Amino acid sequence: MRTNTALLSLSVGAFAIGATEFSPMGMLPEIAGSLAVSIPTAGMLVVVYALGVMLGAPIMTLLLIKRSPKAALIFLMSIFTLGNILSALSPNYDMLLIARFITSLNHGAFFGIGAMVATRVVAKGKEAGAIAGMFMGLTIANIGGVPAITRLSQILGWRESFFAISVLGLITMLALLRSLPRNMQGQELNLRRELQVLTRPAVLLAMLCTVLGASAMFTFYTYISPSLMFISGVPEAQISIMLILVGLGFTLGNYLGGVWANRSVSRTLYGLFTLLALTMVLFPMVASDSVTAGVMLVIWGLASFGIVPPLQVKVMQVASDAQALASSVNIGAFNLGNAIGAALGASVLANGGDYSAVSYAGAAVAAGGLIILQVTLHQAKRQRVMNARHCTEN
């Protein structure tokens, strides 16, 4: 079977971005100790990154949409590489915050433009699988990249870890240069149409589902290292192994979410949002040792990343005539959720809650996502009925 090199290069880029997005969760103790800040304060690095994605997604997309996707994606990865080098060289916490913000500016536009490219290089009807294929790099990063970088930070230091991530950026730029089609053109920018799409109730509700799903995930995931140590008694040296299991769950979820979404987006989202809430309710109750915690993390990871392909497909479906900005802004919505989740977890801890309370807070947010999902699907069904009646009357 012939390898789709364009899709593979997008997956390589997703791997690199996943490495820089998720590695700080495993490096929080080292970063906090090195820069003399608390773990909740170090957790704000996740918040700043997520806010940068949310801001950068629409701005970078609008600036680059008329360019060829090849040139746009390579430019975005150059920002990624520079930001990680600056992170490694940061002399203090404030400079590291700024460097992480710079790094994040590429994220939303890369996945937004990349999702459109992915759907162009596969056969019709395979779009959800293509998007899942691109995001597969993100999940593989959590199996191999994030645990390796976490361990590297424990052995050599977190600065060396950011230098290693910058090398991934250079590799991605070369992969994109060699594999993306030269004749793929950018899109004509109709700013009014693109912005009007973002005011549609169906689009806004779909993006709200994205925000809540990501918030639920990151309320727990941002503090996964200390949660494993304090709830499950996992030694610090074994945290990287547990992160491999999380990455395995992410990969399974990403693959199955894409497969299931090709059959039914709605049923896939219902099932996985429910599973996400249940795993975070049960984790503090049953994950009292490394083995049980590992099993729970695989299931939690499956639910967390299983919702990603169907949520992205849902937004692109309801924004069918102006997908570019909506696709990128939905990536920003994921990261707005990341910021909300990380901040919620920090608030729980700052107000006297323990890591079990953080997990319960994440479950409550996932339950809220189920409610909004029900509203979203009800409105979509109502709109279809109205359209059918309109066609019948005409």
Task: Give the CATH number, domain containing residue 28.
Answer: 1.20.1250.20
Interval 3-59: pLDDT, tens: 678 888 999 999 999 999 888 878 888 898 889 888 888 888 888 888 888 889 889
pLDDT for res 57: 85
Cα four-point dihedral sign 30, 33, 34, 35: positive
Average pLDDT over residues 195-213: 87
Tokens, residue 206: 């779909």
**Count of CB atoms situated within 10 Å of the CB of 314:** 28
Tokens, residue 148: 């390796």
| In-domain check, residue 23 | yes
Q: Three-state DSSP class for 288? A: coil
Of residues 62 and 184, the one with the higher pLDDT is: 62
| In-domain check, residue 142 | yes
Buried b (16+ CB within 10 A) or exposed e, 248-259: bbbbbbbbbbbe
| Of the candidates 53, 74, 80, 60, the residue with the CA atom closest to the CA atom of residue 10 | 74
Average pLDDT over residues 197-221: 90
Separation of alpha carbons 328 and 318, rounded Å = 14
| In-domain check, residue 187 | no
| In-domain check, residue 186 | no
Supply the range of the domain harboring residue 269: 5-181+192-393
Percent of the chain at pLDDT exceeding 90: 38
CB-based burial label for 289 (10 Å; 0-12, 13-18, 19+) = exposed
| In-domain check, residue 300 | yes
Separation of alpha carbons 205 and 342, rounded Å = 22
| Of the candidates 199, 337, 359, the residue with the CA atom closest to the CA atom of residue 277 | 359
pLDDT for res 192: 76
pLDDT for res 331: 83
| In-domain check, residue 30 | yes
| In-domain check, residue 290 | yes
pLDDT for res 1: 44
Separation of alpha carbons 199 and 389, rounded Å = 24
Angle between helices 308-318 and 290-306 (to 10 degrees): 10
| In-domain check, residue 198 | yes
Task: Please state the domain count of the chain.
Answer: 1
Interval 259-306: pLDDT, tens: 888 888 889 999 999 999 999 999 999 988 889 999 999 999 999 999
CB-based burial label for 354 (10 Å; 0-12, 13-18, 19+) = middle
**Count of CB atoms situated within 10 Å of the CB of 189:** 16
Separation of alpha carbons 374 and 372, rounded Å = 5
